């Protein structure tokens, strides 16, 4: 019997994301097959790595291909979880593999976007485009790490993303093909470089709030010592 999370909080019932609903319909025929969630995670990882590689040259054609590959990878990210739920093929290792794949793909894609833009335009806002991609990647890595820690302490409900109308925060990546089609990667990377550190700061605050609820005395001593 799985151990209960150390911290839990009531979660308002919301509609499941649209892409998750579609993913469930598509993987339902695989419920009684030999396919496992880890197989789907590997496919998602392969598409994500291919997307990052496509962004590296920085040309218009490869950039559009990279955006399409990333959209497919982002959608496939829901298939492994849906298959695990309907088939009962869940595992701790599979969950970690899924989270690690999410982090690797997202970080490498933004770094590749920066490298590709650097090869084409050199600099953005008088800074190397590769540096903007690196800053974005580091901020995303911090977000993924803290969300994993929050989930470990408080369960999946504690780390659940904000959603509105069946769309989650990460669903903005579905718009990337439109960005690349109209050659809008420079402002997109600028927005990502500015927005992801701010989002990472919000996750840090959320992480500290969870720590205070879990260990109010220890957290108070730590805060006082700093």
Q: Which H/E stretch holds residue 167?
A: strand 167-168
Tell me the average pLDDT across 44-55: 96
Residue extents of the structural domains in the chain: 18-159+180-225
Copy the structure tokens of residue 58: 């920085």
pLDDT band for position 15 (50/70/90)?
A: low
3-state secondary structure at position 128: strand
Res 171 pLDDT > 80: no
The β-bridge partners of 168 are 163
Res 146 pLDDT > 90: no
Tell me the average pLDDT across 51-79: 94
Res 167 pLDDT > 80: no
Q: What is the mean pLDDT of the chain?
A: 81
Distance (Å, whole) CA 82 – CA 100: 17
- The answer to whether 120 and 59 have CB atoms below 8 angstroms apart is yes
For 5, 22, 210, the CA distances from 2, given in Å and listed in that order, are 9, 29, 21
User: Rounded to 5 degrees, what angle do the CA atoms 77, 104, 135 make?
Assistant: 120
pLDDT in tens, 105-139: 988 999 999 999 888 877 777 788 888 888 998 89
Res 192 pLDDT > 70: yes
> What CATH architecture does domain 18-159+180-225 belong to?
Up-down Bundle (1.20)
Q: What DSSP letter does each residue of 179-202 carry, written as one string?
A: HHHTT-HHHHHHHHHHHHHHHHHH
Reported as half-sphere exposure (CB side, CA atoms, 13 A), residue 49 has a value of 9
Nearest Cα neighbor of 109 from 58, 65, 53, 185 is: 53
Res 41 pLDDT > 70: yes
pLDDT of residue 177: 93
Distance (Å, whole) CA 157 – CA 217: 24
Residue 168 backbone phi and psi in degrees, to 5: -105, 170
- Of 34-38, 53-57, 143-147, 215-219, which range is least confident? 215-219
Distance (Å, whole) CA 204 – CA 57: 34
Nearest Cα neighbor of 132 from 149, 157, 115 is: 115
Distance (Å, whole) CA 131 – CA 223: 33
């Amino acid at each position: 019997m799985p151990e209960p999370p150390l911290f839990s909080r009531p979660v308002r019932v919301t509609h499941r994301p649209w892409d998750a609903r579609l993913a469930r319909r598509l993987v339902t025929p695989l419920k009684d097959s030999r396919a496992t969630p880890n197989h789907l995670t590997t496919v998602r990882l392969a598409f994500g790595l291919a997307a990052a590689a496509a962004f590296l040259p920085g040309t218009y054609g490869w950039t559009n291909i990279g955006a399409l590959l990333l959209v497919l990878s982002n959608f496939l990210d829901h298939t492994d979880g849906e298959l695990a739920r309907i088939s009962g093929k869940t595992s701790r290792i599979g969950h970690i593999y899924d989270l690690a794949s999410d982090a690797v793909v997202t970080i490498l894609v933004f770094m590749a976007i920066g490298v590709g833009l650097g090869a084409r335009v050199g600099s953005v806002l008088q800074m190397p485009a590769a540096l903007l991609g690196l800053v974005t990647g580091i901020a995303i890595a911090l977000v993924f790490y803290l969300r994993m820690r929050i989930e470990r302490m408080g369960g999946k409900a504690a780390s659940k993303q904000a959603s509105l109308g069946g769309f989650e925060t990460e669903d903005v990546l579905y718009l990337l093909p439109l960005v690349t089609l109209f050659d809008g990667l420079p402002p997109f990377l600028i927005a990502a470089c500015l927005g992801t550190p701010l989002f990472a700061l919000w996750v840090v605050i959320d992480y500290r709030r969870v720590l205070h609820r879990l260990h109010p005395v220890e957290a108070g001593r730590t805060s006082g010592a700093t």
